[in-house]
Structure 1
């Protein structure tokens, strides 16, 4: 999973924080970040803090439990940053990062995001569910 040069979407779940994850992505030379947090103003403030030449950061208020918000994330990322390379979910119990390059080419952008979001949410919340052994997703910390 290559962070350098990738556009990354970070979806923050209730009780989670995407701040540390976003800082790690910018330090790893991501090409751009879109941060979505369900709490108004949180992602926007973080975007202002982290935005820099070479790694623009966009913050939006959004909830990945709503398909309309996911569609808006895809459109906003494409408009302001380019094609999405990585999708990350930051929840109260941890992080999940999925490389969209590992998914089938025939899926459209919304479908590409819905599948990893479902996997990510099922692994991060609730904790009693079993983790997926899917080869298309890797639990990792960006270094």
Structure 2
């Protein structure tokens, strides 16, 4: 995966951390970053810290669980940074990167992006804990 010269969107999920990937992408030569974090002020502070000539960084408060939020991120990134090359989802169990060049290319870009982002979210969010069988209440008795 080529990072140098790439425009990268980093979407942070609840319990995730975007600072690590943002620092790594910036150090690897990204051409621009958009960081979206659901916690107000976090992405904006990170953007102010990392923004520099050659790699502008935009921070927004956003949650990517809704297609409309993803659409807004795509629009904002493309308006200010250019076409997106990589979309990183940072969750409590790690990160997953979707390279837009790997998408089919025959559908609307947002439609193509929703499915792999859904998969990425599923990979970086801890599986819900199941109640052990012995602790379940049997309502039939």
Q: TM-score, normalised by structure 1?
A: 0.86
Q: Which has the larger radius of gyration?
A: 2
Residues 55-113 of structure 1, C-alpha deviations (whole Å, 9 max, x = no match): 00000011000111111001000100000000001101101011110110112221232
RMSD (CA atoms): 1.1
2:32 matched to which residue of 1? 32
8 Å CA contact retained: 1:44, 1:59: yes
Tell me how far apart the structure 2 counterparts of residues 109 and 53 of structure 1 sit (CA, whole Å): 28
Q: CA deviation at 1:115?
A: 1.8
Q: Distance in 2 between matches of 1:113 and 1:44?
A: 24
Q: Which residue of 2 aligns with 1:82?
A: 82
1:55 and 2:55 aligned: yes
Aligned-partner Cα distance in 1 for 2:113–2:60: 17
Question: Are 1:119 and 2:119 counterparts?
Answer: yes
- Structure 1's unaligned 5+ residue stretches are 129-143
Structure 2, unmatched stretches of 5+, are 129-141
Superposed CA deviations along residues 16-44 of structure 1, whole A, max 9, x for unmatched, are: 11001100000000010000000111101
Deviates more, 1:71-80 or 1:112-121: 112-121
Give the Cα–Cα distance (whole angstroms) in 2 for the partners of residues 113 and 81 of structure 1. Answer: 18
Residue-pair matches, total:
128
Aligned to 1:16, the other structure's residue is in SS state coil
Specify the SS of the correspondent of 2:69.
helix
Q: TM-score scaled to structure 2, two decimals?
A: 0.87
Structure 1 residues 1-143: aligned runs within 5 Å:
1-127=1-127
Runs of 4+ aligned structure 1 residues displaced above 6 Å come to none
Secondary structure in 2 matching 1:2: coil
